[in-house]
A and B are shown apart, each in its own frame.
Chain A
Amino acid sequence: MVKRYRNNKENEMQRSLSLDPEKCTGCLQCEMACSNEYEGRFNPAHSRIKVFAFHDEGRFVPYTCTQCADAWCRNACPVDAIAIDANTGAKVIVENRCVGCKVCTIACPFGTVNYDHTRGKVMKCDLCGGDPACARACPTGAITWVDADWTGYDRMRQWAEKTDNAAHV
């Protein structure tokens, strides 16, 4: 069943993206929608969400920023250019402060902050301000915008903790 959530101000704090590889068919609608949202054109190369295809296992894995509670990218930024969106909790690049030093791209252990050569700044998922285009575009319910309590990030977060140093509390 496809779940669609309207952007609801009161619930935003409890919402997050849920990624469920079991339901992903590798159609790449999310990449198209993301690229269109940010760049105004359909080019998966500009997408902040990526779908990895493991053809030998018949498995597809949608993958994007987990919006870590205590974000590696944000902690590593030398000029305080990554802010927290008060509505969604998303870690958002402040374009006019980002100098393009790329330290966040190596600090993020998920590889989800990337450098945009054309603009000389970094880019990452910002949850579209609370109405993620990827979730709207996903036809199979593999990407949903749900209550934060049960998201597909949990297992990734566990790996994050293993990578993490215990300082992040």
Chain B
Amino acid sequence: MKYVIVGSGPAGVTAAETLRANDPQGEILLIGDEPGPPYSRMAIPYLLEGSIGEEGTRLRPDRDHFDRLQVALLEARVESLDSEDRLLVLSDGGRVQFDRLLLATGSRPVNPPVEGLDSPLVRHCWTLEDARHIMDHASQGSRVVLLGAGFIGCIIMEALVKRGVRLTVVEAGDRMVPRMMDQVAGHLIERWCIEQGIDVRTSTRINLVEGNEKGLRLQLEPGGDLEADLLVVAAGVVPNTGFLEGSGVTVEQGIRVDARQQTSVPAIYAAGDVCEGVDWDGGHGIHAIQPMAVETARVAALNMAGRETEHVGSMDMNVLDTLGLIATSFGRWQGVEGGDTASLLDERRFRYLKLQFEGERLIGAITLGTTDQVGALRGLIQSRRRLGRWKERLMQDPTRFMEAWAAIAS
């Protein structure tokens, strides 16, 4: 059996390991398009702030890890997929045959429609190569502009501040982290950043970027011109599916997969950020987050190795550290129609907790300024446990969620 995995991020690496654990004999090839050993993008903020070196970003620290598992690594870019002939065509013209294929190509950063983003000194913050470039240009006193105050923008802010830059954040939306936080939390994070000395401009667009190797001039609306030494674009990511055109693999928002992580084409599976899979509450969606990358990869690999396994469904969950203010969100944190909401807010201390219920079940949560036992929120939500009398108790005092879980689980 020849297994080929495209993409050497957390999903690809986990799949390779799971395949090996379940098929000692099979041939496993892991294809990645970046140089060097597989690494974690999650570790990049800590590389930028200097608390780890590049070694510390590795997904597996042991240098012999892949050799020992007899997983072959190939640095190549896949151009196209021929599903019928079970063949991948590489950008260097090479061809790779497979019996079972896993697509774990992740996401890629997108640019908003702004003229001039191809200027030098404009960079995404996505790859190790991006990180090296940012480290070269974000130094003491340099003027750095961050375009986008989403997850990635927020999580690298601390590193940029520690590097001593003068930071301006430009966000088109009316608040920070709109896809992970509600109005209340988004505005609190914004106020937190402003109090830490960051120049935050929400509801602001960049209309034009002009510049060369020496510097940049940005045209803001509102706000006029702004000079910068580096512009970091963190305006969101989309699934990396371009190479699948004409392959017969169904792509909607991402690669559609069933509960076994199989795509519309038998023997071809997808996992991680690139897949649009089953949700914990019955729908379909993309959950571009580390824990789900690993979980979907395990399900995919087990099925590829012939062990029929269904995924119970992905759930949104995130944890974000913005200059030391820690936020989490879980499940349907936006709430549902006809549902109940319990919340507690202490604006002065930047603390916030919100629970969303549907009937007797907890279905979503947001926390800000507290990290204690937050994992229990996942447990309560994903186990779909009926809360019984704990529903009313949590409505009265949402901080008792851990108690509720201990009472239910013990």
Binding site for B on A (CB under 8 A): 19, 21, 50, 52, 54, 61, 63, 72, 75-76, 78-80, 97, 99-103, 105-115, 117, 120, 155-156, 159, 162-169
Contact = CB atoms under 8 A, between A and B. Distances in A.
B409 A110 contact: yes
Interface of B: 10, 14, 40-43, 45-46, 51-52, 56-61, 290-291, 294-295, 298-299, 302, 307, 309-313, 317-319, 321, 326, 328, 330, 371-379, 382-385, 402-403, 405-410
Nearest to A19: B410
A78 B43 CA distance: 7
A155 B410 contact: yes
Contacts of B309: 166-167, 169
B90 to A, nearest CB: 27
B379 A80 contact: no
Contacts of A52: 402-403, 406-407
Nearest to B379: A109
Given A99-B51, A106-B377, A165-B313, 7 more contacts: A63-B410, A101-B42, A106-B319, A111-B374, A117-B371, A159-B409, A163-B378
Given A79-B59, A100-B46, A106-B378, A167 B405 contact: no
3 shortest interchain CB distances as A-B pairs:
A111-B376, A111-B373, A109-B379
A78 B375 contact: no
Given A155-B410, A167-B302, A169-B302, A111 B311 contact: no
Nearest to B65: A80
Contacts of B312: 164-166
Given A76-B294, A99-B43, A105-B319, A159 B383 contact: yes
B326 to A, nearest CB: 7
Contact of B410 (A76, A97, A106, A156): A156
A163 B43 contact: no
A48 to B, nearest CB: 11
Contact of A106 (B51, B295, B313, B318): B318
B375 A54 contact: no
